[in-house]
Amino acid sequence: MSNHIFELKNPVGDSQGAIMMEVMDGVVIDAQKKIDILLSSSSTLMNKYINTNQVTDSKASKIIIIVVVFIMISLVVGGFFYVKEITKPLGFGHDGIAPMSGVGVELRGAFRVGTATMNYSVYTTNGPTLKTPSGVEPLESGMLMFMNLKDNNNNRAFGSRIGLLPFSNSSTEIGFSYYSAGNVGTKGTAYENIGAKLFAFDFSFVKQLPEIGGIVDIKSQYAKSTIDNITYTVEEEPGVFEDLIFNNVSSSYYGQLSYRPTMSGTDFIKKLEFVGRYSKLETPIGSGFATNKKEFSFGLNYWLNWHSVLKLNYQNITGEGGHDVVGKINEKALFLNWAIGF
Amino acid sequence: MLFLNAIIAYVGIISVHKLENTSKIILKESNKYNNLQNLKLNFTELLMPANDYLVHGNKVEILNFKKLDSITG
């Protein structure tokens, strides 16, 4: 119809052209109405799927959060399940000299050497953070803090462990581990180039011995930590500063023995487990966290079933120094714990 | 623990798969919506050369119409 209009010789004010234009307007309005219906349908469909996406996203997030919370609770509760004693040996855990965990990557494996088995692990983590006078615990300046999820520099710590199980029944394991962090101080501070080196020997023996009618479990470890020396100027009281100069070397060791009379004829006795542990920790003399203490711990466990255990522990720590302690210490404690394994 | 990790993995994979499928549909519908909007606009524009030709009689409107007609066609 537009072509007909263009064929008009005098188009301006032509009445036939105006009529054709009106007809065309009507056709276009009809077509646009049909397009509007399709647009409305398309828009409704898009909104429906956008809502579906939001619901899926929300549901998945809720499920994942619930399961993650459950895993975290399991790790906390289950962590107690995998250790014989309720408390950790001296030198491990809070204010410890060796790492218990780290954020990073690890490669581990095992291979046979004749009748023996060897295992290995190599890993790299964010590494420890050095406590300094400007930190939250200035009196512990020079101590390494391992339980840090946030890194304080760009340096990575590297660690490795090699273990040898000399017997074919894998009852005995001897291990050596080494851990090194080139920089443990916070980037941009006077301590940024301080490095740390740690090594440890560990021993494990787990075997059912018919001679004594049960399972014997022996665990022990010796760990040593060497951190580069530097002077820490600490404000002991407001306006009173002291230079802490010390040889930053710490060591700890522990030995643990447990016995479970699994071959007893009495069901109650079969479920019992007796545990004893001795551990010792020595930190640098002259430092704010100087300590020389030892721990004796005795425990009685009762296995309700294979994945649930009740624990009763008595612990006695003697020596001097330690976390916020000056002078002699003689701490006695009794712990009761119910652990569930997953 | 493995079971719990498997739940997270399963929920994650299923959700991502579902989100991917619905996102594809949304993208397809969005393209369709866009094309319909363009078509609606083209219809209106297609009327303009003939209307303007009736107003001032300029022959350039014939070229304008042919150009728009080729796009709409």
Write out pLDDT tens, residues B7-40: 888 888 888 888 888 888 889 889 999 988 888 8
A199, A269, A280, A331 from A220: Cα distances, Å: 14, 26, 12, 23
Chain B residue numbers with beta carbons less than 8 Å from the beta carbon of A73 are: none
What was the pLDDT predicted at A117? 94
Predicted ipTM > 0.95: no
Query: A213 with A263: CB under 8 angstroms?
Result: yes
Q: How far is CA A342 from CA A69, A136, A214, A303, B3, in A?
A: 14, 36, 24, 15, 10
Output the DSSP codes for A282-328: E--TTSTT-EEEEEEEEEEEEEEETTEEEEEEEEEEEEEE-TT--SE
- Is A263 within 8 Å of A208 (Cβ atoms)? yes
Closest approach of A58 to chain B, Cα-based (Å): 10
Instruction: Supply the pLDDT for residue A81.
Output: 57
Cβ contact, residue pair A21, B32, below 8 Å:
no
Q: How many domains does chain B have?
A: 1
CB atoms inside a 10 Å sphere around CB B39: 15
Name the band, by pLDDT with cuts 50, 70 and 90, for residue A78: low
Residue whose pair of structure tokens reads 């004893």 in the numeric block: A276
User: Is residue B60 in a domain?
Assistant: yes
Taking residues A54-83, report their average pLDDT.
Answer: 73
Q: What is the pLDDT of residue A166?
A: 93
> Residue B70: inside a domain, yes or no?
yes
| 3 state SS of A32 | helix
User: Is residue A9 helix, strand or coil?
Assistant: coil
State whether A71 and B1 contact (CB < 8 Å).
yes
Q: What distance in Å separates the CA atoms of residue B64 and residue B49, rounded to the nearest whole number?
A: 6
The CA distance from A194 to A157, in Å, is 13
A111: CB partners within 8 A, 6+ apart: A117, A118, A119
Other CB atoms within a 10 A radius of the CB of residue A114 amount to: 7
- Report which of A67, A149, A58 is spatially closest to residue A103, judged by C-alpha positions: A149
> Using the beta-carbon criterion (under 8 Å), do B46 and A2 form an inter-chain contact?
yes
Q: Is residue B68, in this structure, part of any structural domain at all?
A: yes
The pLDDT of residue A342: 65
> Which pLDDT tens digit goes with each residue over A318-328?
999 877 777 88
Check pLDDT > 60 for residue A48: yes
Residue-wise pLDDT tens digits, A213-247: 999 999 999 999 999 999 999 888 888 888 889 99
| % of chain A surpassing 70 pLDDT | 96
What's the domain range around B44? 39-73
In a domain, B2, yes or no: no
pLDDT at A285 over 70: yes
Residues in chain A with CB shorter than 8 Å from the CB of B47 are 2, 21, 24-25, 28
What mean pLDDT value characterizes chain A? 87
- Kindly state whether residue B61 falls inside one of the protein's structural domains: yes
Q: pLDDT digit string (tens) for A89-134?
A: 888 877 788 888 888 899 999 999 999 999 999 999 988 999 999 8
Number of Cβ pairs closer than 8 Å across A and B? 106
Quote the DSSP letter at residue A88. Answer: P
Query: Does any CB of chain B come closer than 8 Å to the CB of residue A305?
Result: no
Pick from A142-151, A248-257, A267-276: least confident:
A142-151
Inter-chain CB proximity B54 and A74 less than 8 Å: no
pLDDT surpasses 70 at B1: no
Q: Is the pLDDT of residue A262 over 80?
A: yes
DSSP string, A198-254: EEEEEEEEEEEEGGGTEEEEEEEEEEEEEE----EEEEEETTEEEEE----EEEEEE
Structure token digits, residue B3: 């079971």
Q: Is residue B3 part of a domain?
A: no
Q: Which chain A residues have a beta carbon less than 8 Å from that of B40? A: 32, 35-36, 39
Residue A164 has a pLDDT of 95
With CB atoms and an 8 Å threshold, state whether A57 touches B12: no
> Which residues of chain B does A64 touch, with a Cβ-Cβ cutoff of 8 Å?
8, 11-12
Work out the average pLDDT over A64-87: 69
A112 versus B49: the higher-pLDDT residue is A112
Residue A20: band (very low, low, confident or very high) from pLDDT cuts 50, 70, 90: confident
Report the length, in residues, of chain B: 73
* pLDDT tier for residue A71 given thresholds of 50, 70 and 90: confident
Inter-chain touch B22–A49, beta carbons under 8 Å:
yes
Please give the average per-residue pLDDT across A21-35, as a whole number: 86
A38 to chain B: closest CA residue: B36
Query: Which chain B residues touch A32 with a CB distance below 8 Å?
Result: 40, 43-44
pLDDT tier, A80 (very low <50, low <70, confident <90, very high otherwise): low
